[in-house]
């Protein structure tokens, strides 16, 4: 992977761009959720993405060069993302797009929280409070114990937790293999998970019900239309770009610094939800989104107030081939109030 991509500001800028594009991917999948099963969408997208990696990113050769131990670590990491994707997209047929994305984007705050026990990073009272603020925002959107509560909202929160573990795993693997190998294995994970599910859908089709989310998961496969293939082509490119940008960022900059930059997706989700479905968030949802964003941006403010890796311009090694740098740019927080 090019060295310029590993510079912290470049890595974070590409991540923000990818997160700005990805809500349109979600919007297209929501449009297809009324007639195609999730497994079929995931399989087609995975096959297209794997073909691109093989042709343009030497996917076969990078896999051959990958030690078996690293491959299985990449595979385990990839299955965390498969679980996150499944838990995220199943409720998408039922819940408004801005609601789904807003709940899901508590994941950067969960990454900040989990970076302490799983990565040994230190966070102080200010960042703990920012996590609490974001979680309170999620509660405003989910509204447990009220007539507006939907179990699908809890499923989305499960997706956020699985995604947080996926990115923590990415961070732990920052010096293993190459970024191309990591993204290629990710597409193999999509195919490995989607193919058996699609076969189950084909052999034991489930009649359509009033439960849109369950139908999206279990309906029989069908031939995609030309419009579906255009949507899937865009989704493939969008997800590949985000996979590269996200993996590169989490391998180049400290996890607790990167996480808030993913919030670019929230305003774009609101825009697409309004333009395509006229889905306007209600007052409590607006308040919850604001609290989640406030928690993320407060974390950024605290990081900018300190001398951290982001300010040095020294990237961490993103692969074994980039290990010429003697300092990986990683340090523990020294400010107990960070």
| Mean pLDDT of the region 78-106 | 91
Least confident of 12-16, 23-27, 40-44: 12-16
Angle at alpha carbon of residue 121, lines to 120 and 123, rounded to 5°: 130
Q: Stretch 253-258: mean pLDDT, rounded?
A: 69
Higher pLDDT, 158 or 331: 158
Q: How confident is the model at residue 200 (pLDDT cuts 50, 70, 90)?
A: very high
**pLDDT at 220 > cutoff 50:** yes
How many Cβ atoms sit within 10 Å of the Cβ of residue 68? 7
Which of 263, 275, 294, 255 minimizes the C-alpha distance to 102? 263
Q: Is the pLDDT at 333 greater than 70, yes or no?
A: no
Q: Is 268 in contact with 188 (CB distance < 8 Å)?
A: no
Residues 6+ apart with CB under 8 A from 11: 5, 245, 248, 249, 252, 253, 258, 315
Does 312 have pLDDT greater than 60?
no
149 vs 133: CA distance, rounded Å: 20
- Per-residue pLDDT tens over the stretch 36-67: 999 999 999 999 999 998 888 776 888 888 88
Most confident of 37-51, 54-68, 206-220, 252-266: 37-51
Q: Which candidate, 306, 295, 310, places its Cα nearest to that of 257? A: 310
Reported as a pLDDT band with limits 50, 70 and 90, residue 196 is very high
Residue 292, both tokens: 């989640």
pLDDT computed for residue 325 by the predictor: 35
**Of the listed ranges 142-151, 258-267, 287-296, the one predicted with least confidence:** 258-267
More confident residue, 315 or 219: 219
Q: Which of 32-41, 250-259, 314-323 has the lowest mean pLDDT?
A: 314-323
Residue 86's contacts (CB-CB under 8 Å, 6 or more residues apart) are: 38, 159, 193, 217
* Of residues 293 and 91, more confidently modeled: 91
Asked whether 103 and 160 are in contact (CB, 8 A), the reply is yes
Q: What is the mean pLDDT of residues 215-232?
A: 95
Going by C-beta distance under 8 Å and a sequence separation of 6 or more, which residues neighbour residue 196? none
Task: Please state, in angstroms and rounded to a whole number, the distance separating the CA atoms of residues 233 and 241.
Answer: 13
């Amino acid at each position: 992977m090019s060295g310029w991509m590993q510079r912290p500001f470049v890595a974070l800028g590409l991540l923000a761009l990818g997160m700005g594009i990805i809500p349109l991917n979600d919007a297209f999948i929501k449009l297809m959720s009324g007639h195609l099963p999730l497994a079929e969408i995931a399989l087609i997208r995975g096959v297209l993405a794997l073909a691109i990696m093989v042709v343009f990113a030497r996917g076969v050769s990078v896999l051959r060069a990958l030690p078996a131990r690293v491959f299985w670590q990449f595979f385990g990491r990839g299955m965390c993302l498969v679980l996150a994707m499944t838990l995220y997209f199943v409720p998408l047929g039922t819940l408004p797009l801005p609601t789904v994305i807003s709940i899901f984007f508590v994941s950067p705050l969960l990454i900040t929280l989990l970076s302490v026990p799983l990565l040994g990073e230190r966070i102080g009272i200010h960042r703990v409070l920012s996590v609490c603020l974001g979680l309170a925002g999620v509660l405003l959107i989910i509204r447990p114990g009220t007539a507006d509560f939907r179990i699908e909202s809890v499923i989305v929160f499960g997706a956020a937790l699985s995604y947080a573990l996926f990115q923590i795993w990415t961070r732990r693997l920052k010096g293993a293999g190459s970024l191309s190998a990591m993204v290629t294995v990710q597409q193999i994970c999509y195919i490995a998970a989607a193919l058996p599910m699609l076969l189950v859908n084909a052999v034991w089709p489930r009649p359509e019900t009033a439960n849109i989310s369950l139908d999206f998961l279990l309906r029989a496969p069908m031939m995609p239309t030309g419009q579906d293939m255009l949507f899937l082509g865009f989704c493939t490119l969008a997800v590949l770009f985000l996979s590269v940008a996200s993996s590169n960022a989490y391998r180049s900059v400290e996890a607790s610094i990167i996480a808030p930059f993913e919030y670019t997706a929230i305003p774009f989700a609101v825009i697409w939800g309004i333009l395509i479905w006229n889905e306007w968030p209600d007052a409590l949802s607006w308040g919850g989104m604001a609290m989640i964003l406030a928690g993320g941006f407060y974390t950024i403010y605290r990081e900018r107030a300190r001398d951290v890796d982001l300010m040095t311009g020294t990237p961490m090694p993103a692969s074994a081939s980039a290990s010429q740098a003697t300092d990986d740019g990683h340090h523990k927080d020294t400010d107990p109030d960070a």
